Amino acid sequence: MSQSPPSLRDVSCADDYDPNSMPVDQARRLIAQFLAPVSGTEQLSVRAALGRVLARDVVSPVDVPAHDNSAMDGYAVRHSDLGAAEVTLKIVGTSFAGQPYNGSIGTGECIRIMTGGVVPASMDTIVMQEHARAEGGRVVIGPGHRKGQNLRRAGEDLPKGGVAVARGKLLAPADIGLAASLGIAELIVYRRLRVAFFSTGDELVSIGAPLSEGQIYDSNRYTIYGMLSRLGVDFIDMGVVRDDPALLEQAFEQAAGMADVIITSGGVSVGEADFIKDLLNKLGEVLFWKIAMKPGRPLAYGRVGSAHFFGLPGNPVSVMVTFYQFVRDALYALMGRDPVPLLPVLKATCTSTLKKAPGRTEFQRGILSRNANGQWAVQVTGEQGSGILRSMSEANCFIILPTAQGNVEAGALVDVQVMEGVV
Ligand code: AMP
Ligand code: MG
């Protein structure tokens, strides 16, 4: 459904990598090479375009502001009429916002003007009313006024033909207001991205059905549903698919026929990988990596038909961390966002002692808060096992511990990535 990206093999040959220990950044870079925005667009009213990604620059059809106008309530004067001492000017009219003064203004004359009122071409300076003294039909103005003061020039906010909102922007309230201020009623946005997802595993039961011995409820489809909803994509929940090659093949083919992106969880770890690998090599092209990260080690990325495929690990926390670290950015790029917004990372004092072995990047779950001195502090959410979803539920940030980092003492500064907008 998206444009056909280049072959995975060409790219993977060009880039030297170790599939058994892929650094997080390298995996991100490899994936990024295959991501082009969806090609379809639609034209929507400005209100309906809120939260969508702009597919064409909004170009201003007019100068903003349209006329030279006053930034203050006061008097529009000729600077050459003012002097080193007080002068008295005759008031010959008034310019209100939306009601300009069209009469002539002679030497020694001025007009009363309100904020937003059009400044006549022969006037070059605005004197605030607080700096003037009205006396009947006249006004007395002292010295010290700068030529051009309090005057907003036509086109100074945005010239005619200038880009008001650039392609790739996720349209926010200010953007649709800006379009409206230009008299633009409709905007061209990218069509919504379609994402199909399913869980794999014989042990999984959907909520509503009773559990037999050894079975567990499928939670990944719920976290994935939640994260996709926050990103603003259309999605298709395909349920649980058994670990059965025929059923999986059917599910992948069905998904590829209706979606731009397929996301699965489970079945990509050691032992299971070969089984899915064979299947996906038949249906498309897929790269399997063991990412040098914790949690979230196994990850598959590729294509099934023309759909992008993300094979996430099965463990509930790993699913969320890999979604956050790889899938979020990729989906934004496919949605047309340009640039893809980075999640904010800040330094915080870690109030917990953290266990960490060097060799891979860790994404521990943290609770970020401000301490009594107004500085950022972070504590870990207790046990960090990749099956403990409560650690994600309590967290509002990831504590990112880089590859070479060992244990962290309480009081040390750490990098914290705020989980904004997805969890
Ligand atoms: P797998 O990668 O398929 O070996 O799964 C790794 C672990 O995650 C296993 O303990 C699975 O039971 C668990 N798991 C896999 N899929 C899900 C799911 N959809 N919901 C909850 N747990 C899961
Ligand atoms: Mg499994």
DSSP per residue over 6-20, as a string? Answer: PPHHHHHHHS---TT
Measured from the CB, is residue 389 less than 6 Å from ligand 1?
A: no
Between the two ends of the chain, the Cα-to-Cα distance in Å is 28
* CA 218 to ligand 1: nearest atom: 20
Q: Which of 418, 421, 326 is nearest to 378 (CA)?
A: 418
Measured from the CB, is residue 311 less than 6 Å from ligand 1?
A: no
Q: Are 381 and 331 in contact (CB under 8 A)?
A: no
pLDDT on residue 11: 65
Q: Are 225 and 292 in contact (CB under 8 A)?
A: no
Which of 197, 216, 221, 227 best tests ligand 1's pocket when mutated (most atoms within 8 Å of CB)? 216
* pLDDT for residue 408 is more than 60: yes
Residue with the nearest Cα to atom 14 of ligand 1? 314
Q: Which of 268, 402, 398 is nearest to 324 (CA)?
A: 398
The predicted-structure confidence for 243-300, as pLDDT tens digits, reads as follows 999 999 999 999 999 999 999 999 988 777 677 888 898 999 999 899 999 998 999 9
Q: Predicted confidence band at 413 (pLDDT cuts at 50, 70, 90)? A: very high
Q: Give the Cα-Cα-Cα angle 396, 299, 239 (nearest 5 degrees).
A: 80
Half-sphere exposure of 347 (CA within 13 A, CB side): 3
**What are 373's two structure tokens?**
């001195």
pLDDT on residue 228: 96
The predicted-structure confidence for 160-213, as pLDDT tens digits, reads as follows 999 999 999 999 999 999 999 999 999 999 999 999 999 999 999 999 999 999
Measured from the CB, is residue 204 less than 6 Å from ligand 1?
A: yes
* CA 265 to ligand 1: nearest atom: 16
Residue 313 burial class via C-beta count within 10 angstroms: exposed 0-12, middle 13-18, buried 19 and up: buried
Ligand 2 ion: nearby residues, β-carbon < 5 Å: 201, 266-267, 314
Residue with the nearest Cα to atom 18 of ligand 1? 218
Q: Predicted confidence band at 14 (pLDDT cuts at 50, 70, 90)? A: low
**What are 229's two structure tokens?**
């909803």
Rounded distance between C-alpha atoms, residue 189 and residue 25, angstroms:
30
pLDDT on residue 131: 97
Indicate the average pLDDT of the chain: 94
Q: Which of 332, 368, 188 is nearest to 260 (CA)?
A: 332
Task: Identify the bridge partners of residue 416 per DSSP, sorted by sequence position.
Answer: 346, 399
Q: Which of 136, 119, 137 is nearest to 76 (CA)?
A: 119
* pLDDT for residue 384 is more than 80: yes
Measured from the CB, is residue 315 less than 6 Å from ligand 1?
A: yes
* pLDDT for residue 67 is more than 80: yes
